[in-house]
């Protein structure tokens, strides 16, 4: 049973920081790197690592631009990311309902 439940949970999202990132992006559709950093209280390096994991899985897209000569990184959730997130939430609900 335990093994079955773990298989159902998406390992990419099943991590506190990445779950936080996805929860924000699913609502906002997009967010700046600094916004996520502030909201989740993460360091630059830590956030970059988590974003790369999500980008590799094609759950988010990262776009780097320059605004007034300052670098700006915008993260946007993809359709695949939205679907994965909603499946993840569904699976969490199943776990809560299945275990008495």
Partner 1 sequence: MENERQEALENIELIKDMVLQTKKQMSLSGAGWIAIIWGIYCWIGIAGSWMFIPQGIFEGVWWTGLGFIGLLATFLVVKYKIKPQPERSKTKYMRWFFLFWIPLLILAYTLALLCVFLPGLSHQYITIFILLVVSTGYMMIGFMMFKEMLFMGILGMAATILTAFFFLEYNGIILSVLFGVGLIITGIVINHKWRE
Site residues, partner 1 (CB under 8 A): 1-2, 5-6, 14, 16, 19-20, 23-24, 26-31, 35, 39, 89, 92-93, 95-96, 99
Quote the least distance from Cβ 43 to partner 1, whole Å: 19
CB nearer to partner 1: give 70 or 96: 96
> For tokens 């906002």, what's the residue?
28
DSSP 33-45: HHHHHHHHT--HH
Encoding tokens for residue 13?
């999202």
Largest CA distance in the chain: 56
Encoding tokens for residue 55?
């980008």
Quote the least distance from Cβ 31 to partner 1, whole Å: 7
Quote the least distance from Cβ 56 to partner 1, whole Å: 21
């Amino acid at each position: 049973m335990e093994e079955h439940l773990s298989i159902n949970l998406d390992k990419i999202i099943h991590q506190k920081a990445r779950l936080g990132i996805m929860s924000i992006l699913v609502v906002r559709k997009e967010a700046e790197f600094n916004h996520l950093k502030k909201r989740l209280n993460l360091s630059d390096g830590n956030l970059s690592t988590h974003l790369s994991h999500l980008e590799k899985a094609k759950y988010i897209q990262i776009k780097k631009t320059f605004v007034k000569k300052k670098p700006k990184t915008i993260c946007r959730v993809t359709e695949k990311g939205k679907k994965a997130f909603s499946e993840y939430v569904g699976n969490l609900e199943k776990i809560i309902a299945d275990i008495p």
